[in-house]
Amino acid sequence: MADERSFFETGLDEPLIVANEPRPPREKLNPPQWLRKRLFNSWYNSAVTLVLIPVIAYLGWRFFSFLVFNARWDPVRNNLTLFMVGRFPRAELWRVVAQVVIWSSAIGLAWGAAVAGAKARALRAGLPYREDPLLAKVRRYGALLVIVGLFLAMTQTWGPLIIFAGSVASAAVLQFLGSRTAAEHVAFLWAGVAVLGVAGFQVVSGFYGNGWLWMGVPIAVAASKLVGRIEWSSPLAARLARLGGVAVVLVVAYVAYMVIDHRGVGWEQWEGLRLNLLAAPIAIVLAFPLGVALAIARRSSFPALRIISTGYIELIRGVPLISLLLMGQFFIGFFLNTTTPLSSITRAITALTMFTSAYIAEIVRGGLQSIPRVQVEAGQSVGLRPFTIIRLIVLPQALRNVIPAMVGQFIALTKDTTLLSIIAVADLLYVRGIVHAQAEYRAFGIAETLVFVALIFWAITFSMSRESQRLERKLGVGER
Amino acid sequence: MKRLIVLLVGLTLVVGACADGGDNASSLLDTVQARGTVLCGVNDVLPGFGIVDDAGNFGGFDVDLCRVVAAAVLGNANAVEFVPLTAGERFTALQSGEIDVLIRNTTWTATRDGQEGSTFLLTTFYDGQGVMVPEASDVTSIEDLADANICVLSGTTTELNLTSVFNSRGIPFNPVVYADNTGLRPAYEEGQCDAWTSDVSQLTAYKAAIEDEGGAAQRILSDVISKEPLGPVVLDGDSGWAQAVEWAIMATVQAWEFGITSGNVTGFPTDDDNVRRFLGQLDFEAGLGLPSDFAVQVISQVGNYEEIYNRHLVPIGLPLSGSPNDLWTNGGLMYVPPYR
Amino acid sequence: MTTSTDKRAADPRIAWYRNVRILRVVVQSVFVAAVFTLLFWLFNNLINNLDRLRIGTDFGFLGRSTGFQIPYDEGFDPRSPVRDMVLVGVKNTLLAGFFGILLATVLGVIIGVSRLSTNWLVAKLAAIYVETFRNIPPLIIIIFFGFAVFTYGPFPVLSNAAEIRFPGADRTGLILSNTVWGIPSFLAGPNIGVFWASMAVAVVAAAVAFGWRTRLHERTGAPERRARWSFGVFMVVALAGLVLGGDAFSISWPELSETRRRVVGGFRLNNGFISVTVALGLYTASHIAEIIRGSILAVPKGQSEAANAIALTGFQRYRYVLLPQAMRIAVPPIISQYLNLVKNTSLGVAVAYAEITNLTLTSIGNGRPAPQSILVLMGVYLMFSLTISFLLNIYNRRIQLVEH
């Protein structure tokens, strides 16, 4: 049976992205009216304004002059590569460049596929769909663009600018093409995203050893979905064909890895900002299935499942992340009988995953609670098994409802990756310490490098929280 | 329901299959030889002993001893992977198997031998604990440090010695404890501490570094608070690996005693059977698991003890002659058993 | 309908492998067995590895002596057992937590309400504050205070500390340096018992006044003014007690010792404590400001309009209409922010503040067994969070709107 749905469709005939609605008109005030209304509307407010204006002006002038005139920015400017990738072997930096280009293409393709899917759904539901104009898109990511622009200005070489322009160009082209594809072909786009994602990962770590399993699985899933789209003669044949697709992909991956056996730079050597940006998504992706399972277990009718999952969740949520990271550092290796010891980063990501899974479990539990019992009863009345009800009816709605909370958790996790510096894993903050351990920058530029690091985190999390607010508004979550 | 049962039974089987313990019977020596690299825990911020230069290369006295071990066990002094560690995490790295050997200016004490699951090998550097103050301060001995803030590293013998010595002499003090020297050094230089206590070798190294980089002049007090024998550490219960490492390092001292240097090791003229046996020219097998020419590899690729010492420690102000690290024939403490 | 399903379930003719009740028990037992097997296997590995390394597997290390001196805690004897070190760590954590919570609440409420001000400048400044501090990792703020403000900052070395006098006082009121700050404190004098007695009497008198005004209001309809009356009675009785008792307190002024290396007297705040408290206070204040703003906005607009319709002033509108309803929504998230603040004090490791995580790491570095020490550490934090969750649950149950 042809399966027209794409990976991320909720299975409900509702467009995920609502058409842009017109906003109520804003009042227009000319300057004197505005001053009177906003700054001097009562004696109290006038007094406060009159006190604040000189104070702000003075502080602003001091801060601005510090930033532009007195600050020593050379610790930042001369160590940009160190900040971005840490002590990554300089001869292998081409891998990082390739990864950036491949992943921005993947992001562009995914964005295009999402837009195409949304358009198709809007069309089916009979609603109009208007894409954001380009200016609005640029404004959304203003903070990030400013930071990237500052960074590029500091490098004072052409390389990073070319790389940045290339990545943006390829992302834009793929987004454009993707958003114009017809609805039935969107599944191919998502398969392409999976392949590109995997390729971006592997171009850095290399093609050897057990990587075939990690990387084969997403492509196998994509393949099975694609194979399922073909019209087969019977359901049995479809099932066999899908299994066959999965098997073929896995076998090909295995053989390819054994043959190529090309070692790249393993994740023990991923450092700097790159580590922060990669650790958070990896932890969330690994923690997501575990968290969903825990949430379902916590609400199950079996007391054993409930007690065990509640115990785990409350235990992990009650302790600070640093203690879990220390536990990982000091004795997680003792729990397993591995022949080779786990690297620092593996242990850190294990601890991060455990931590995140408990928080995701709580979020998903809230989402599950928000689904009216009627849905479950409707599923039961049609004769579905409990697990099928959860899989096809409850979970899609629940996950859609908690998207803003998930994004909030992702933001918090990105900020928490700075804790890796305390256990001597070389993230951006730790690399800052390395910069200041160099003889020339020992006592200089302390505040400047800290401001630089803070600015990078601020730009990333600010953009993400803006996106989350936008998404909340579009999904209509929280409106009564 | 059926599916759930199948799932859980499968889970139990999987867990059961993993339940047989790992195979601990082989020695670390075989593992290292199979792996082809030695994982060596070192310092990366201590000038002279273990430090990283701008290009990311490790260098120093302890670092060279790591290369000695690699040259002896694997025949290639560069087959080493350096794992930088802070004082607080060095023993857990050894316990968890993250490193094969810890050569990181570590003091040999009874508690560490007994409780940290580690075994100390020969002492490669006889040191003591001292105190450093800025030259401009008026402190001349420890008694002048009443009520002082004293910078010290966490997780070191210096921390414990500081407490016991000052308490037994009745001198009140306040320890300012940092996890590593990258945090401690700025605090000391900016005056948040009145004094810095550590091994005299560390203080000498940092005194040289601070003064070379334009900082204030420093004075190391003449009081030596305790004995600090520094040496390599391996994991308990693996005598094969321990012996291999120990004899590899002892070869450097033995070569010094014989007068063999990296310059003259090839074609070293000798009639002495002891020297010829040492250089692997006789048909002799000590059963240490090392190749017969390990001494030649060590000396030619890294050097003898005196060369290593002169390369790294003399430039930072630690003279060899007259110190306890001199050869026993010169009145020092470096005395190794014969290779026979 | 239900009876027939019950009968079916109990019907002996249904095979056991299709009987739902039995299957539920079987499945749960299998699951519990699997989990316990897994845990047992993990635990067994842990014990085996620890035995192999001859590290102790018991908690006896808590009774052995600590061996090291705790920074900025002159009273701690290094020979005391590790248990006492843990208590000192807990005390330091709670100190930083308490003052951080205080700062965060005050600042958070001010900024949260400012964000809703009609004054554009005030609202924008508050918005900038919130958006800045919410999006920066707290560790960076702590490091900023620890290093940029203290180590490399404007404060002088302790021997040259800035000794500031309050106008009109003859002794130094404030000592500022880059390691220790000194502020005045109160010392108990010889008549301290009189003070406590008069405080107790004052509290009782205030309660009596409270009850009296309530009954008066119910009987005659006179305005209650309970808070004013009980506060006034309390102050009068307490001041009378202070004056009559006399000499209950003395003020302890901070000053430098003769060696000029220590501050004696007064409250001594070390730079780690100040960095952690101020940094976490600023960070958490931004979250609390957002929560307060959100909760005030969540009160239906109709309430504000009704208040305006009966001509309440702005202050009255907040006090009688908005804040009571907003607090109901705001209190649970604010309490969980408090918990986060206490957990974030563990970041004091970065600035060498002697809270429980830092002390645990130091003791592990000095040879105490790592797994047990970290379990003790986790247990301490679990105690905090379980206590706070418990209190929060009680509060929630009491204020929940009873819906019929």
Q: What pLDDT does A332 receive?
A: 79
Tokens 């440090």 sit on residue: B145
Tokens at A215, concatenated: 């990387």
- Side by side, the strands of the sheet bearing C180-183 are C162-165, C172-176, C180-183, C267-270
Partner C contacted by B159 (CB < 8 A): yes
Side chain identity, residue B229: P
**Cα–Cα distance measured from residue A438 to residue A74, given in angstroms and rounded to the nearest whole number:** 13
Chain C CB within 8 Å of residue A51 CB: no
* Banded model confidence at residue C170, pLDDT cuts 50, 70, 90: confident
Lookup: tokens for A84: 């971005």
Give yes or no for a contact between B205 and B49, defined as CB atoms under 8 angstroms apart: yes
pLDDT average, residue stretch B199-207: 90
Average pLDDT over residues B193-217: 88
**Chain C CB within 8 Å of residue A38 CB:** yes
> Quick check: A308 contacting C, CB < 8 Å?
yes
Q: For chain A, percent helix, then strand, then coil, each to nearest 5?
A: 75, 0, 20
> Which neighbouring-strand residues pair with C65?
C81
Residue A12 above 50 pLDDT?
no
Q: Is any Cβ of chain A less than 8 angstroms from the Cβ of B89?
A: yes
Distance CA C109, CA C289 (A): 6
The reported pLDDT for the residue numbered C382 is 94
Q: In chain A, which residues have their Cβ closer than 8 Å to the Cβ of B85?
A: 424
- Kindly list the partner chains of chain A, i.e. chains with 3 or more CB atom pairs below 8 Å: B, C
Q: How far apart are CA A254 and CA C119, in angstroms?
A: 65
Helix axes C120-134, C82-114, angle to 10 degrees: 150
Q: Quick one: B274 exposed, middle or buried, by C-beta within 10 A (0-12, 13-18, 19+)?
A: middle
What stretches of A320-420 show up as alpha helix (H) in DSSP? 321-335, 344-369, 373-382, 386-389, 395-401, 403-416
Handedness of CA B291, B293, B295, B299 (dihedral sign): negative
Nearest chain A residue to B23 by CA distance is: A339
Pairwise CA distance, residues A235 & A191, whole Å: 23
Report residue A13's pLDDT band, with 50, 70 and 90 as the boundaries.
very low
**Considering only residues 111 to 170 of chain B, which have any Cβ-Cβ distance to chain A shorter than 8 Å?**
none
Count of residues making up chain B: 340
Taking chain C, what is the end-to-end CA distance rounded to the nearest angstrom?
29
Q: How far apart are the first and last CA of chain B?
A: 72
Task: Count CA atoms closer than 13 A to B251's CA, side-chain side.
Answer: 35
Would residue C67 be called left, alpha or beta, if left means φ above 0 and alpha means ψ between -120 and 50 degrees?
left
Q: Which among A35, A63, A313, A326 is the top mutation candidate for probing chain C, defined by the most C β-carbons within 10 Å of its own β-carbon?
A: A326
Task: For chain A, list residues whose CB is within 8 angstroms of any CB belonging to chain B.
Answer: 87, 329-331, 333-334, 337-344, 387, 424, 433, 436-439, 442-443
Neighbours of chain C (3+ CB pairs under 8 A): A, B
Backbone phi, psi, residue C162, to 5°: -80, 120
Nearest C-alpha neighbor of B123 from the set B261, B307, B305: B305
Q: Which of C370, C385, C386 sits opposite A331 (nearest CB)?
A: C370
Q: Given a cut of 90, is residue A319 above it in pLDDT?
A: yes
Instruction: Tell me the nearest-neighbour CA distance from B256 into chain A, angstroms.
Output: 34
- Chosen from C136, C342, C392 to mutate, greatest number of chain A CBs within 10 A: C136
Which residue among A53, A317, A458 sits closest to C136, beta carbon to beta carbon? A458
Give CA–CA dist B111/B334, Å, rounded: 24
* C286 three-state secondary structure: helix
pLDDT at A5 (0 to 100): 44
The answer to whether B100 faces chain A, any CB pair under 8 Å, is no
Closest in B3, B56, B189 to A87, CB measured: B56
The reported pLDDT for the residue numbered B22 is 42
**pLDDT class for A21, splitting at 50, 70, 90?**
low
Distance CA A365, CA C268 (A): 46
CB atoms B8 and C27 under 8 Å: yes
Cβ–Cβ of B149/C362 closer than 8 Å? no
Question: What is the rounded average pLDDT of the residues A411-438?
Answer: 88
Task: Between C400 and C279, name the one with better pLDDT.
Answer: C279
Side-chain-facing half-sphere of B13: CA atoms under 13 Å: 6
The C-alpha atoms of residue C348 and residue B293 are separated, in whole angstroms, by 52
Reported confidence tier of residue A324, pLDDT bands at 50, 70, 90: very high
- List CB contacts of C174: < 8 A, sequence separation 6 or more: C162, C163, C164, C166, C181, C182, C183, C254
Measured CA to CA, the distance from residue C314 to residue C304 in angstroms comes to: 10
Lowest mean pLDDT among A424-438, B19-33, B231-245, B276-290: B19-33
Span C117-130, average pLDDT: 88
C-alpha dihedral, C21 to C25 to C30 to C33, nearest 10°: 170
According to DSSP, the β-strands at B101-107 and B148-153 are: unpaired
Q: Do C41 and B95 touch (CB under 8 A)?
A: no
DSSP A261: -
Instruction: State residue A263 phi and psi, 5-degree precision.
Output: -90, 130
Chain B residues with CB-CB distance to C48 below 8 A: 21
Q: For B92-161, where are the E strands, in sequence order?
A: 101-107, 118-120, 125-134, 148-153
Inter-chain CB proximity A331 and C35 less than 8 Å:
no
Angstrom distance (rounded) from CA B132 to CA B10: 64
With CA atoms as reference, report the closest residue to C285 among C158, C156, C114.
C114
pLDDT tens, position by position, A225-237: 888 777 788 888 8
Q: Tell me the HSE value of A37 on the side-chain side, using a 13 A CA sphere.
A: 8
CA–CA gap between residue A364 and residue A405 (Å, rounded): 9
Q: Pick from A235, A239, A119: which is nearest to A186 by CA?
A: A119
> To which residue do tokens 């313990």 refer?
B21
Q: Which two tokens stand for residue C243?
A: 């004056």
pLDDT band at C339 (very low <50, low <70, confident <90, very high): very high
Per-residue pLDDT at A480: 33
Q: Cβ distance A39 to A45 under 8 Å?
A: yes
* Distance of residue C49 Cα from the nearest chain B Cα, in angstroms: 9
Asked if residue B117 lies in contact with residue B95, where contact means CB atoms within 8 angstroms, the answer is yes
Q: Quick one: pLDDT at residue C5?
A: 53
* The pLDDT of residue B133 is above 90: yes
Do B79 and B36 touch, CB atoms closer than 8 A? yes
| End-to-end Cα, chain A, rounded Å | 40
Asked if B186 reaches chain A (Cβ–Cβ under 8 Å), the answer is yes
Asked whether B78 and B67 are in contact (CB, 8 A), the reply is yes
Query: Rounded to a whole number, what is the distance in Å from the CA of C140 to chain B's nearest CA?
Result: 15
Q: Is the pLDDT of residue A10 over 80?
A: no
Residue C251, helix vs strand vs coil: strand
- Residues of A whose CB is below 8 A from B182: 433, 436-437
As given in the structure block, the two tokens for residue C347 are 């970041």
**Which chain C residue lies closest to B160 (C-alpha atoms)?**
C68
- Cβ-based contacts of A350 with chain B (< 8 Å): none
How does C344-368 read in b/e, with b if 16+ C-beta sit within 10 Å? bbbbbbbbbbbbbbbbbbbbbbbbb
Check residue A341 and report its DSSP letter: P
Determine the pLDDT at residue A20. 55
Pair type for strands B58-59 and B50-52: antiparallel
Asked whether the beta carbons of residue C23 and residue B1 sit closer than 8 angstroms, the reply is yes
pLDDT surpassing 70 at residue A211: yes
- Chain C nearest-CA distance from B228, in A, is 15
Higher pLDDT, A475 or A270: A270
Q: Do the chains contact at C31 and B8, CB–CB below 8 Å?
A: yes
Helices (H), A206-234: 211-228
Cβ contact B145:B131 at 8 Å: yes
Nearest to C139 by CA among A151, B303, A414, A291: A414
Q: Is the pTM of this model over 0.90?
A: no
* Residue C181 three-state SS: strand
Interface membership of A229 toward C (CB under 8 Å): no
Q: Which of B19, A311, A316, A354 is nearest to C40 (CA)?
A: B19
- What pLDDT digit, counting tens, does each position of A51-107 carry? 888 898 998 888 888 888 777 788 888 888 888 888 888 888 888 889 999 999 998
Contact assessment for residue B142 and residue B169, using Cβ atoms and an 8 Å cutoff:
yes
DSSP conformation letters of C28-78:
HHHHHHHHHHHHHHHHHHHHHHHHHTT---SSGGGGSB--SPPTT-TT--T
Whether the ipTM is more than 0.90: the answer is no
Q: Which of B8, B149, B163 sits opposite C67 (nearest CB)?
A: B163
A171, A105 in Cβ contact below 8 A?
yes
Residue C357 sits at the vertex; the CA angle it makes with C343 and A441, to the nearest 5 degrees, is 100
| Distant-in-sequence, close-in-space partners of C15: CB < 8 Å, separation ≥ 6 | none
Residues whose CB falls within 8 Å of the CB of residue A234, separated by 6 or more in sequence, listed in order:
none
> Which burial class, exposed, middle or buried, applies to A28 when counting CB atoms under 10 A from its CB (0-12, 13-18, 19+)?
exposed
pLDDT tens readout for residues C61-89: 888 888 888 888 877 788 888 899 999 99
C117: closest CA of chain A, how far (Å): 9
Cβ burial, residue B222 (10 Å; 0-12/13-18/19+): exposed
Task: Assess contact for B106 and B230: CB atoms under 8 A.
Answer: yes
Please write the tens of the pLDDT for every residue from C173-190. 788 888 888 888 887 777
